[in-house]
Amino acid sequence: MNRYILSGLVILGLLWTGLAQVRAGQANLPEEAMAAVKEFDRVEKAVMAKAQIRIREIQDQADHELGPAKKKASVKLQALQEKYTKLGRLDEAVALRDTIRRILGIRPDPGVLHLTENQMDRILLFEVRGSTTGSIWGDEVYTSDSHLGTAAVHSGALKPGQKGIVKVRVLPGQSSYRASSRFGIASAAYGAWQISFTVEAVRAER
């Protein structure tokens, strides 16, 4: 992780810790103190929102700067992976494959997604296998706790049992999610939810 992003996350974490300690002492506050507490809560919310926006801006800038280096390194390493695969040196080929995934930010199959507000508006890459058994809520836009492999099949990104790289775009929550049946999978409807995502195919492998 970029050291500037890490520093920002550490600072944000310390802020949250300090604020949590403030809240912990509020249980026995007298009524006449509540106006000051409410004003603090209002300012706190605004400050933390600005901090999260700043961290996302730093992440976006880091991703932009790293883009060309990621592409250059992955092209070179993919050529080496093919070379070692042809030579039958599979341990080296697998190590190269895993290194390429790390550089490109490809994450392992999470099963059920657990997205956070800090990931809002980001694009995440996952290697998943298409599934028909997980629970999903929505149609094309899904709740953040939906099963990724099943959503990938429902959206048409992968076939059942097919493994591949998919792109998850993290979106704001919706006021409602509709049910639908697509590619043999029935999704469920749901009401308001705080975070959403869409899923698209990047590369289907098998």
Who has greater pLDDT, 121 or 131? 131
Task: Give the type of residue at 94.
Answer: V
Quote the CA–CA distance of 33 and 96 in Å, as a whole number.
61
Helix residue ranges per DSSP H, 87-179: 90-104, 148-154
Who has greater pLDDT, 35 or 204? 35
Q: Whole-prediction pTM value?
A: 0.67
Quote the CA–CA distance of 5 and 12 in Å, as a whole number.
10
Q: Phi-psi bin for 154: left (phi > 0), alpha (psi -120 to 50), beta? A: alpha
Domain boundary assignment for the chain: 3-64, 107-204
* Average pLDDT of span 138-162: 97
Q: Domain 107-204: which topology?
A: Ferric Hydroxamate Uptake Protein; Chain A, domain 1 (2.170.130)
- Quick: pLDDT tens for 48-73: 888 877 877 887 788 888 889 999 99
